[in-house]
Amino acid sequence: MENKYKNKISGNYFMSYRDNSEYEKAEIIILPVSYEGTCTYKKGTANAPKAILEASLNLDPFDEELFFSLEKKGICTLKMQKFSEKEESKKVVEKTKELTKQILKDNKFPVIIGGEHSISIGSIQACAKKYSNLSVLQLDAHTDLEKAFQGNEYSHASMAYKTIKTTKAKFSQVGIRSINKEVIKEARKTKTSIFYSHNIINKKHKISEIVESLNKNVYLTLDVDVFDPSIFPNTGTPEPNGLKWQYIINLIREISKYKNIVGFDLMEHSSKNPKNPHYSDFSAAKLINKILCIIFKNKIK
């Protein structure tokens, strides 16, 4: 696969260009996907990949909490996949699946930056093809278990449902705080583990319970609305009573100790309104870097 960017000093690269940013040398592959065709409330997720990449240029690669740096790790950023709002979400999913399959075939680690959550269907399908008995850790305020939201089975609100039906992956959903009775029935039917935000905040769920709900191979899909809106205000549907930054980091650290994280994505960050605080762009970039530091520090042990 070819990295087609020519300008080595630009926002096209995650954390800027370096000698090991070429595809062949890289261990980590960033796939930015710009699409928001099925968004139903506030839009702006199509602008997020570019905004996050640009914000990442201001990151220090060293993580003080982990005492670890990605500086020597090869990180290649692929060409932005831009889709019109009118594009069928199924086509976006298929393209994402195709590109993720190639990344995995080349034994590299995929990171998908969206965009809306329907994009994740494709990347999870690709991982499920390579890794048997895959679990999906979904960090999210919403279950995305609607059968066909507004008649579209490839909707952002149907991401988990469609993925389960096409891959048989086991889902564990963390941070949920918006759900209806029909979806609860569907969760039981599909044996989806739900860890509600209020129970986590009230310490009725331990991190160890979440870890134990997962199989050995794990794909991490992170919708930024899992966080409290005070941390990530820029998202389509910001639900109150969300999780805190340090809790999410602690959770991922613990999972990475005992499970094999095979890929991850960050979805539903919105970067549309110039009046919105830009710190969400930077926070999203920092979060991606931190998650990668967690994963790769554990991989070298």
DSSP string over 23-64: TTT-SEEEEEEE--TT--SS--GGGHHHHHHHHHTT--SEET
Cβ neighbours around 213 below 10 Å, total: 18
Give pTM, 2 decimals.
0.93
pLDDT on residue 43: 77
Supply 24's token pair: 């062949």
Give the angle subtended at the CA of 88 by the CAs of 28 and 42, to the nearest 5°.
80
DSSP-assigned beta bridge partners for residue 260: 217
Please compute the mean of the pLDDT values over residues 179-192 and round it to a whole number: 94
What percent of the chain is predicted at pLDDT more than 70? Answer: 91
Q: What is the pLDDT of residues 134-155, one digit of tens each?
A: 999 999 999 999 886 666 688 7
Q: What is the pLDDT of residues 250-299, one digit of tens each?
A: 999 999 999 999 999 999 898 865 555 577 899 999 999 999 999 999 87
Please compute the mean of the pLDDT values over residues 68-83 and round it to a whole number: 92
Q: What is the pLDDT of residues 224-255, one digit of tens each?
A: 999 999 999 888 888 999 999 999 999 999 99
pLDDT on residue 71: 82
Name the residue ranges covered by the structural domains of the chain.
19-299
Q: Is 15 left (phi over 0), alpha (psi -120 to 50) or beta?
A: left
pLDDT on residue 42: 74
Supply 172's token pair: 């564990």
With 90 as the cut, is the pLDDT of residue 186 above it? yes
Q: Is 185 helix (H, G, I), strand (E, B) or coil?
A: helix
pLDDT on residue 145: 94
pLDDT on residue 93: 96
Please compute the mean of the pLDDT values over residues 147-172 and round it to a whole number: 86
Instruction: Calculate the average pLDDT of the chain.
Output: 90
Q: Can you tell me the distance from the alpha carbon of 99 to that of 121, in angstroms, rounded to the nearest whole number?
A: 13
Fold adopted by 19-299: Arginase; Chain A (3.40.800)
pLDDT on residue 4: 46
Cβ neighbours around 19 below 10 Å, total: 7
Please compute the mean of the pLDDT values over residues 123-134 and round it to a whole number: 97
Supply 86's token pair: 């009118």
Give the angle subtended at the CA of 3 by the CAs of 88 and 9, to the nearest 5°.
110
Q: Can you tell me the distance from the alpha carbon of 179 to that of 182, in angstroms, rounded to the nearest whole number?
A: 8
pLDDT on residue 282: 93
Q: Is 239 helix (H, G, I), strand (E, B) or coil?
A: coil
**Of 174, 157, 169, nearest in space to 236 by CA:** 157
With 50 as the cut, is the pLDDT of residue 10 above it? no
Residue 182 CB partners (closer than 8 Å, separation 6+): none
